[in-house]
Amino acid sequence: MSKIVFKLNTDDNFSVQDSDFEVDLTSKKEYNHTFFNRYKRLYKMPHFFQNEALDLWYISLMVYYADRVISRKGTYDNWTRQIKIYIPVIEIEKWNLNKHLLITTLSYLSGDLWEIEFRKRTLNSKEVKISEKIPKWFIDEKFETDTFCMLSGGLDSFIGAVDLLVENKHVAFVGHYGGGKGVKPFQDKVNSLLQEKFKIEEKNFFNFHAAPQKGKEDSTRTRSFMFFTHAIILASCMKKRVKLYIPENGLISLNIPLTNSRLGSSSTRTTHPYYMQQLQLLLNNLSIDIVLYNPFQFFTKGEMLINCKDESFIKDNYFYTMSCSHPDQVRYIKGNKPKHCGTCLPCTIRRASILKAFNDDNTDYNDLNYKNKKAKVELRSFKIGVKDYEDNKASKFRIQIAGQLVKDLDKYNDLYKRGMQELSNFLDLQNE
């Protein structure tokens, strides 16, 4: 079992004799996170962060640290790790009551076996400074909203942002970028497009970076948890009910593997309804008044494009978004700027959706025809997966493979059929 002790206060002397790491999250030498970099933006919040939301945000950073620094190689199945983390929190009673819920949520998301030990802490000097400055800041500059939306730079979140802004210009958008340069340029472009189109100010956009300095494990299934908590901690400053939009097409959300190689936690569970349900329950138990909502839970990606509330704007700009699972790889191979590989599953689902909606795709893909060796293998596996679906589509158990669904089973099953048909129509045009 890997053991990691986290610290947030300079006077924290807690230690564990056989720990693998002791990590000071306030030190940029160990963890680079930009949340506190722009103090004035935080001073403009109407209230200081809710304690429970502040704890949750730090917990997500700690979980992500463990996810990045502990390799899956060498475990009994080269995937499942046993991890124990020692976490300082403000609201220790609430966290001890919700420890089991947090652990089951993380285990589902990452596929690992987690243990957590909480201990009490107080606000550190940086947090005290912000808590004292917020009430003193100019009241007419305060940023208030009851609507937050995740904005990743991808096509789904772009559509979600457009749909919201058609009806409501006062939305706070939250993004996150990792260590590479693959996503950030697309996020910046999407932000500027939305600002220009809908005449909204830059203050509506928050974009953060957070990553351990020594990360070596690339599976990073807990990144979405950390991504969401950046929005949650900001939304907690509103001190009122906030709706947090997490736009994701229903087929990807269900996370049903096409092939055996994508079974289990080796495929992302970022917005699976079960995970969203568990995270919502955790927020409720912590009295964080935020409602998680995926407006596209029962839409395929193609249907999202077709039904966008400003279809002409989407059609003119969809190619500025990034859907690829590894956009940086193309840049490293050919020395070019980041772009879509064109052959991974997210790229393939993207291409299928654009074909359905527009009959033509102006996105710049590195491999349009699945020509390289790995792409040929991927294409073959996708086709085998579709054939397997066709042979077994009468079964309603398939939609439960990635996680428990307790309601709307007919709607999920119908969505799955439409999504697979959308994918099949595209794959039929591709030659191996």
Instruction: Return d(Cα 239, Cα 388) in angstroms, integer.
Output: 49
- Number of Cβ within a 10 Å radius of residue 241: 10
Q: How many CA atoms lie within 13 A of 205 on its CB side?
A: 21
Q: What share of residues in the chain are helix, strand, coil (percent, to 5)?
A: 50, 15, 40
Q: Nearest-CA neighbor of 120 among 284, 9, 26?
A: 9
Strands 205-212 and 31-33 come out as antiparallel
What integer pLDDT is reported at residue 333 of this predicted model?
Answer: 59
The number of beta carbons lying within 10 Å of the beta carbon of residue 121 is 19
Provide the token pair at 305: 């494009």
Given a cut of 70, the residues of the chain with pLDDT beneath it are 179-181, 259-267, 330-336, 394, 432
Q: Helix, strand or coil for residue 405? A: coil
Closest CA to 141 of 194, 202, 203: 203
pLDDT at 182: 73
Domain ranges of the chain: 319-427
For residue 143, which of 171, 175, 165 has the smallest C-alpha distance? Answer: 171
**DSSP letters spanning 83-126:** EEEEEEES-HHHHHHTHHHHHHHHHHHH--EEEEEEEE----HH
Contacts of residue 288, Cβ cutoff 8 Å, sequence gap at least 6: 50, 52, 53, 56, 232, 236
pLDDT of residue 260: 55
Residue 265, pLDDT score: 41
User: Using CA of residue 119, residue 124, residue 127, residue 133, what is the dihedral sign?
Assistant: positive
The angle at the Cα of 160, spanning 158 to 161, to the nearest 5 degrees, equals 65
Query: Which pLDDT value is given to residue 394?
Result: 64
Q: Which residue has the tokens 């802490």?
A: 121
Please give the pLDDT value at position 263: 42
Enumerate the H helices of 118-222 as residue ranges.
125-133, 155-167, 184-198
